[in-house]
Amino acid sequence: MYSEKVMDHFQNPRNVGEIENASGVGTVGNAKCGDIMRMYLDIDDNGVIKECKFKTFGCGAAVATSSMATELVKGKTIQEALEVTNKAVMEALDGLPPVKVHCSLLAEEAIHAALWDYAQKNGIVIEGLEKPVSDISEHEEAGEEEY
């Protein structure tokens, strides 16, 4: 049911933990399944993501997708990180079962929330970044036909 990569990232998740004095922190949840995700980003003066860590109270697919998402955004610029969508994360993991696709949204939205926090703290606007919602199940309903 799950790809080897998903199992690997679930059993050995990368970048679990928190960053003290992070440049940006984002927390999102999905009220439907009750899962919560918090993402920490450390961003340097050139706008490059040096470090990315996560903590989750989420299912296995949420753990695996967040682990992969942190690996994908590390070393990227803010603009490049915005391109790390849940679809990109799922592709990097060789796919997810359809009923678990929504889990991959937690990581994407938590990264966006952390970037939003960074922008707020620094008084900047990140082009293409929309204000995050704290409950992503609202998003799901709006775009249900996509999944």
Q: Which residues in 18-57 contact ligand FES (CB under 6 A)? A: 30, 33, 35
Q: Site map for ligand FES, 78-107, x if CB under 6 A?
A: -------------------------x--x-
User: In the bound complex, what is the minimum distance in angstroms from residue 40's beta carbon to ligand FES?
Assistant: 19
For the question of residue 33 being annotated catalytic, the response is yes
φ/ψ of residue 65, rounded to 5: -70, -35
C-beta of 59 vs 133, nearer to ligand FES: 59
- C-alpha distances out from residue 19 to 9, 52, 72, 74, Å: 20, 8, 17, 13
Element (H, E) at 61: helix 60-73
103 noted as active-site residue: yes
Alpha-carbon gap, residue 16 to 13, rounded angstroms:
7
**Beta carbon of residue 7, minimum distance to ligand FES (angstroms, whole number):** 15
Which of 28, 117, 105, 27 is CA-nearest to residue 78?
117
Q: Which residues are catalytic?
A: 33, 103
Which residues contact ligand FES (rule: CB under 6 A)?
A: 30, 33, 35, 58-59, 61-62, 103, 106
